[in-house]
Amino acid sequence: MIAILGAGKMGEALLSGLLRSGHDPADVVVSDARPERCAELLESYGVKALANTEAAAAAETLLLAVKPQDMPALLAEIAPHAGAVRLAISIAAGVRTATIEEWLPATPVVRVMPNTPMLVGQGASVISAGSHATEEHLVQTEELLRAVSTVTRVPERHQDAATALSGSGPAYVYYLAESMIDAGVTMGLPRATARELTLQTLTGAATLMRDSGEHPAVLREAVTSPGGTTAAAVAELERRGVRSAVLDAIVKARDRGAELAGE
């Protein structure tokens, strides 16, 4: 039995991935602070909802998907009931495996940082083993995540950097998308047209980068005609320091992850 504790956006994405990859709804339970959320998931996926303590007692695998600030209360609540748990997987940003192990001593813990494209089966997850987790637990975690994301193993010291890059990363892409759509509208394009062109440009550019295997600088040079339109745009981005702003922003996200972990 797998229990998903905290059935919000990411919990639901994990749930739908588990079911799509062939897990029987009868082998998955959910728990959430909001009963109406549990009712929604029962209706959409046919999975049973239990109280946190019942779910922890029934499951061999826990998927901890509450917000970082809700994690201490959840762990305190379930710890006395989690005797049969063989693997605890946490997706909470900035919560160290050692913190979870304080509550669930001797339980193998795997820390995961996924991202929201997991909702459409296109996520990127990084995973790290806690001190009691073995190769078998990492493989088990990879199997659970593969239906909804790629999975990359990193040492836990790199989790905050991965959180800043791929965990928060979709937000940077949407920020760019908003700016591009606004630029289109400023120049007089209908909003729907600006949205469609932006979306296809981002999707196409990402697919080209993946399929060609080329460095992004090479792909950018291929777009940039001497004295042309792209050169004018890129010169303005450079003048405004956008490259270093992006770099500094992602480092700030990394540092915030460490702060959330109380470091």
Ligand X SMILES: NC(=O)C1=CN([C@@H]2O[C@H](COP(=O)(O)OP(=O)(O)OC[C@H]3O[C@@H](n4cnc5c(N)ncnc54)[C@H](OP(=O)(O)O)[C@@H]3O)[C@@H](O)[C@H]2O)C=CC1
Ligand Y SMILES: O=C(O)[C@@H]1CCC=N1
Kindly list the residues in this chain that would bind ligand X in the complex (CB under 6 A). Answer: 5-11, 31-34, 37, 52, 65-68, 70, 73-74, 91-93, 113-116, 167
Tokens of residue 254, six digits? 């990394």
Interatomic CA distance for residues 75 and 208, integer angstroms: 44
Interatomic CA distance for residues 164 and 231, integer angstroms: 29
Tokens of residue 200, six digits? 């296809």
Binders of ligand Y in range 86-115 (CB under 6 A)? 93
**Nearest approach, Cβ of residue 164 and ligand Y (Å):** 8
Interatomic CA distance for residues 103 and 118, integer angstroms: 28
- Span of 69-77, 81-89, 160-168, 230-238 interacting with ligand Y by CB under 6 A: 160-168
Q: Which is nearer to ligand Y, 21 or 116 (CB)?
A: 116
CB 198 within 8 A of CB 177: yes
Tokens of residue 99, six digits? 């913190």
**How many chain residues are in contact with ligand Y, going by CB under 6 A?**
4
Interatomic CA distance for residues 234 and 237, integer angstroms: 5
**Nearest approach, Cβ of residue 85 and ligand Y (Å):** 24
**Nearest approach, Cβ of residue 159 and ligand X (Å):** 11
Query: Residue type at 122?
Result: Q
- Span of 1-9, 152-160, 161-169, 187-195 interacting with ligand Y by CB under 6 A: 161-169
194 near ligand Y, rule: CB under 6 A: no
Q: Which residues bind ligand Y (CB under 6 A)?
A: 93, 163, 167-168
